[in-house]
Amino acid sequence: MMTHEPPADPDDPALAAAQAERFSQARTAQAQALLEDYTEMIDDLIREHGEARITDIARLMGVAHPTATKAVARLKREGLAVSRPYRGVFLTEAGAEMAERVRSRHRVVVDLLIAVGVPPESAERDAEGIEHHVSDETLMAFERFLGGRG
Q: What is the pLDDT of residues 32-84, one digit of tens each?
A: 888 999 999 999 999 999 999 999 999 999 999 999 999 999 999 999 999 98
**pLDDT above 70: residue 11:** yes
More confident residue, 17 or 57: 57
- Helix residue ranges per DSSP H, the chain: 13-49, 54-61, 65-77, 93-115, 120-133, 136-147
What pTM value is reported for the model? 0.76
Domains of the chain: 15-92 (1.10.10.10), 96-147 (1.10.60.10)
pLDDT, one tens digit per residue, over 71-124 is 999 999 999 999 988 889 999 999 999 999 999 999 999 999 999 999 999 999
